[in-house]
Amino acid sequence: MADSSGRLIVEQFVRAMEAKDLEAQGRLMSDDYVEEMPQSGERIRGKANWLAVVSNYPGGVGTLDSESGRVIGAEDRWVLTPQFSVLRIEGSGDVYTYSGAARYPNGETWLIVALVELRDGKIAKTTTYYPAPFEAPAWRAPYVERFPAPTG
């Protein structure tokens, strides 16, 4: 696969993630898609299980309409879910990394780093890290320069 087409697939995927367009995300994933979240020790195996996870998000992401393939639900269905902002995409061929921020309704912003593997023009696997924010220790202040953290 040419580098530009792989990057385009990843860009479309993260833009669909930002828009909470589950249908578009699903079209870009292989049927045997795998997502791993090492911090929680979880692996989602298969696009159907991924759709079930996001469709059953606490607080209501909505429900998957089997006929249209669209997620439907009340207007406030996204109220507990984070708003994603992708800040950077890097990679080539079939391996990419994107970083971004997830801003939750309670005001917390967590950073995201995802490793993406493509196969046959589809996203086959992601390994996603959700590092929690933390206060910089005072003892490092003389040796570092501070910059604003992404706010999503």
Any domain includes 143:
no
Any domain includes 152:
no
Asked if the model's pLDDT at residue 3 lies above 90, the reply is no
- Three-state SS letters, the chain: CCHHHHHHHHHHHHHHHHCCCHHHHHHHEEEEEEEEECCCCEEEECHHHHHHHHHCCCCCCCEECCCCCCEECCCCCCCCCCEEEEEEEEEECCEEEEEEEEECCCCCEEEEEEEEEEECCEEEEEEEECCCCCCCCHHHHHHCCCCCCCCC
Any domain includes 126:
yes
Any domain includes 139:
no
What are the pLDDT digits (tens) for 68-101?
545 455 444 445 567 788 889 999 999 999 999 8
Angle at 108 between CA 21 and CA 24, to 5 degrees: 10
Asked if 100 and 79 count as a contact pair (C-beta separation under 8 A), the reply is no
Domain that holds residue 126: 3-133
Band of residue 27 on the pLDDT scale cut at 50, 70, 90: very high
Any domain includes 146:
no
pLDDT of residue 78: 46
Query: With pLDDT > 90 as the criterion, what percentage of the chain qualifies?
Result: 50
Any domain includes 142:
no
pLDDT of residue 50: 93
CATH number at residue 62: 3.10.450.50
pLDDT of residue 72: 52
Q: How many domains does one find in the chain?
A: 1
Any domain includes 34:
yes
Please provide the average confidence, as pLDDT, over all residues in the chain.
83
Any domain includes 151:
no
| pTM across the whole model | 0.77
